Structure 1
Amino acid sequence: MGLDYKSLDSATREAMAAEVERDAAARSLYISPRLTEQGANEWPELLLSAVKTGTDDSLARELSTRRLLKTHEESHRNGKPFTKAVPATAASTLAEGEFNRFYLRGIASRGLAENRDIEIYRGRVSSRPRPESEALMGERLAAGELLDDLRAHIGVDGALGLPPGPNSGLTGELI
């Protein structure tokens, strides 16, 4: 089940879409190495469609039903490469992570334009929340600072620690 996005409305979706289009035009859109070649080709349009009218759940379903993720990947143990199965949760992890990243960019862009801040909250219940995630709960961030950080750190954790890694369940809302 995806995150509960409290500030997801038509204005946020428009801002999210502008952020996706910005990265696509700059060729800086994150392309997961777990995507197949076809998946990598279709990813920009799938992501854009999801931010315009869908959810992280609908994006994950598209990735799964279209079989756009690899079934196996290379990993390393004790410095030696080996092949392992891609986790069954890979589609939802990728979809939630990237949808949330663009949602946060969308609300940060809006916050900057509307002179509002962003407050971090838990968008999904976690039975074992990470201490670093708990430390961010209720934190208020300046929209411009968050937007700059998320734009600068594509596909990796940003300096502000948001979002704080895959499956954290944290997101933000306009305040």
Structure 2
Amino acid sequence: MGLNYQNLDDRTRQLMLQEFNYDIECDNCYLSKRFSDHGKNCFVEIMPEHILVGNDDSLAENLKSADCFLTHEERKTKSGTTLAKVPDTASQTFAEGEFNRFYIRALAFRALEEGKQLEVYRARASSNPRLESENLIGKHFNAEQLLTDLRENKGIDTAFGLPSGPNSGLSVKLE
């Protein structure tokens, strides 16, 4: 089940698309290491549609049904490298993370425009939340710094730790 995006309206969607196109123009689009070659192209083609009229769930389903992910991946172990099955949840994890990143970037841009603050909230219930995620809830972030951080750091390695890793269930809202 996807995230509950509290400020996902037409303006936010337009800004999400603007941010996605910014990444495409800068050749800075994050592509999962688990994507097949087909998946890399497919994601870039379908993401705009899901930004404008879908959500992370619709994106995940589209990526899965289009066979965008490899079936197996190499994993390093103590004794070397082994071939492991890519988890069935790969499409959901990736879609949620990337849709949320563009949503947060759009809200950061919007907060700058509207003179508002951004507050972290739990966008999906968690029966066993991580302590680092719980510690972020209710925190406020500087919109300009957050936008810069998310533009410069692809994937989950952001300076502010937001989004807070795969499956954290955290997002931001305008305040």
Q: Please indicate, yes or no, whether the TM-score normalized by the shorter chain is above 0.5.
A: yes
**Is contact 2:16–2:102 with CA below 8 Å preserved after alignment?**
yes
Q: Does 1:78 align with 2:78?
A: yes
Shift of 1:156: 2.9
**Is contact 2:156–2:164 with CA below 8 Å preserved after alignment?**
no
Q: Does 1:143 align with 2:135?
A: no
Which AA in structure 2 matches 1:102? F
C-alpha offsets along residues 5-64 of structure 1, whole Å, 9 cap, x if unaligned? 001000000000000000001110001111111110111122221111110000000011
Report what 2:119 is aligned to.
119
Structure 2 Cα separation of the partners of residues 68 and 148 of structure 1: 29
Gaps of 5+ in 2: none
With over 3 angstroms needed to count, the CA separation of the structure-2 counterparts of 1:88 and 1:118, relative to structure 1, is same
Superposed CA RMSD: 0.8
Q: How high is the TM-score relative to the length of structure 1?
A: 0.98
Structure 2 Cα separation of the partners of residues 32 and 79 of structure 1: 25
Gaps of 5+ in 1: none
**Is contact 1:146–1:160 with CA below 8 Å preserved after alignment?**
yes
Q: How high is the TM-score relative to the length of structure 2?
A: 0.98
**Is contact 2:13–2:106 with CA below 8 Å preserved after alignment?**
yes
Which shows bigger deviation, 92-101 or 40-49? 40-49
Report what 2:95 is aligned to.
95
Which structure 1 residue ranges, 4+ long, deviate > 6 Å from structure 2? Answer: none
Report what 2:56 is aligned to.
56
Percent of counterpart pairs with the same letter? 45
Structure 1 Cα separation of the partners of residues 115 and 152 of structure 2: 21
